Structure 1
Amino acid sequence: MMAGRGGSETDVAGGPARHLPVLIDEVIAHLAPRDGGVYVDGTFGAGGYTRAILAAADTRVIAIDRDPNAIADGQALVAESAGRLSLVHERFSALDAVVAGQGLERVDGVVLDIGVSSMQIDEGERGFSFRRDGPLDMRMSSEGPSAADLVAKLSETDLANLLYRFGEERRSRAVARAIVEARASAPIERTLQLADIVAKVIWAKPHEPHPSTRTFQALRIAVNDELGELARALEASERVLKPGGRLVVVTFHSLEDRIVKNFIANRAKAAGGSRHLPSVDAVPTSFRLVARGAVEAGAAELASNPRARSAKLRAAERTEAPAHAGGDLSSFLPPLPSLDASRRR
């Protein structure tokens, strides 16, 4: 979990220290760690939340990260924890399976910090940065299709849809057209190469985000299936939390926050029959709200860590009701553009 996880590259390029955990006091206050409790940090990163949970009480933490570099860098903290920390290389959407693999059925809390970490952005060779030259990669786990593959294979229409839905890029059609025209002359395989193509279409004022911010965000989300991972992780958290267990999620842009908001609202509102229709059994609420609305960083944190300006925290507490039947995430996710290479043009 990093200061820049999910933040914009504008912040990363000129921001302060890399390892300032975002909303750390608010996370601990809403998670409420207690002695003997077991907590899942689903997005370990540099270990900021994990350290705070271990320090807050005599707790045990199961930390997860899909980035092998984060796992390697976290071994020192594992050694320091004297058996209180288990660090697992896995996607956080599988956190319930990870918990079972640790010999447990339920945990007392889950915390998720969604998005890319500043460590990943700061390493040009990972391909996340539009300010540092590197291969156009963006894979958090270094597996599967890269951003370069998407840029090379998607049709102009699908590319425009991807940029609009995942990057909320208002000029998505113009950017997609420029990419398709550029790749007809030469493959687009470097980050600065793509950033230069986008900058010729979008002009930003000095105080505005870099022209490529939304394009890079959209590609990163698509490459890593970030929104699908988040939705599946929320359902996994519902299955694994004990009654009274806390779910705390920190997001950094509206797409993520909307998914978390809708999920919690869905699970915290009892569903029943309509007076105009035959009665049906009500579905009991599986969560109750801990924080009403989103919690944001205060003035003091924003002054010391501007990367926190887009962070939003939402929290809920598990009830005794069974987990809702899952499997249909369509109500939480935007429609996905086709990644069929055959549709390239």
Structure 2
Amino acid sequence: MSGGFSHVPVLRDEAVSMLAPRDGGVYLDGTFGGGGYSAAMLEAASCTVWAIDRDPAAIARGASLAARYPDRLHLVEGRFGDLLDLLRDRGVMALDGAVFDFGVSSYQIDDPARGFSFRADGPLDMRMGAAGPTAADIVNTCAEAELADILFHFGEERASRRIAAAIVRRRALQPFETTADLAAVIRTVVRPDRSGIDPATRSFQALRIEVNQELAE
């Protein structure tokens, strides 16, 4: 990709080929992230791209790309579930195409300060945006039964009730603050198996979904 914007989504070329951007067209990147899809569309044609992301860090990263395409790339902080209102409020009533890349971004996973991963210690946050309760708020305040339901329904964690009980016992002594702290407690309940998947994986997935209300989008 030209111009030094290095993030390349896995299916970038396939997605842009299907969109076939045209000069004068108006397109939506509903999950801006690292800006790879937006950059590819802007390079493919003299079009306009509206890019939405709930993560203020993603919007800030996109400023350099927007500067390269003045009046063609418009960055909007918000949830893609609210895209109709976000676009309508800005006078965008029709689109020629749209692309979405759902899920947590590599930028969020790789930054310990965001608290998404148990592979590096960081604050137990997991928020894709800047507002709302953190993962620490949930594990430190939810009733045991509610916490077990979150782990079971969003993480398909079969040991959800035992993990929830262990979390409640531990938080009575000291609140959870970091990803490593929570992962360590989960690993006392669920042992590694032959799959090689870390025992904390399903619980962290479940908490991320709950924190960000991903299924409500």
TM-score, with structure 2 as normaliser: 0.91
Alignment equivalent of 1:52, drawn from 37, 40, 43: 40
Does residue 218 (structure 1) correspond to residue 206 (structure 2)? The answer is: yes
Count of residues in Structure 1 that have an aligned counterpart in Structure 2:
212
Does residue 26 (structure 1) correspond to residue 14 (structure 2)? The answer is: yes
Q: Which has the higher contact order (CA 8 A, sep 6+)?
A: 1
Alignment equivalent of 2:149, drawn from 131, 151, 161: 161
Distance in 2, matches of 1:145 and 1:189, equals 13
Deviates more, 1:171-180 or 1:201-210: 201-210
Distance in 1, matches of 2:199 and 2:8, equals 26
Q: What corresponds to 2:121 in structure 1?
A: 133
Identical-pair percentage = 55
Deviation at residue 222 of structure 1 after TM alignment: 0.7
Q: What's the secondary structure of 2:175's corresponding residue?
A: coil
Q: What corresponds to 1:79 in structure 2?
A: 67
Greater strand share, structure number:
1
Q: What's the secondary structure of 1:99's corresponding residue?
A: helix
Distance in 1, matches of 2:170 and 2:37, equals 42
Distance in 1, matches of 2:195 and 2:41, equals 37
Q: What's the secondary structure of 2:18's corresponding residue?
A: helix
Superposed counterparts of 1:195-234, under 5 Å:
195-205=183-193, 208-229=196-217
Alignment equivalent of 1:63, drawn from 42, 48, 51: 51
Q: What corresponds to 2:103 in structure 1?
A: 115
Question: Which residue identity does 1:116 align to in structure 2?
Answer: V
The gaps in structure 1 that reach 5 residues or longer are 1-17, 230-345
Residue 209 and residue 30 in structure 1: after superposition, are their counterparts in 2 closer, same or farther (change >3 A)?
A: farther
The gaps in structure 2 that reach 5 residues or longer are 1-5
Deviates more, 1:30-39 or 1:135-144: 30-39
Greater helix share, structure number:
2
Superposed counterparts of 1:177-326, under 5 Å:
177-205=165-193, 208-229=196-217
TM-score, with structure 1 as normaliser: 0.59
Question: Which residue identity does 2:40 align to in structure 1?
Answer: A
RMSD: 1.6
Distance in 2, matches of 1:101 and 1:22, equals 32
Q: What's the secondary structure of 1:40's corresponding residue?
A: strand
Distance in 1, matches of 2:70 and 2:131, equals 32
Residues 60-113 of structure 1 show CA distances to partners (whole Å, capped at 9, x for unaligned) of 100011111111111000011132100111111111122223322111122111
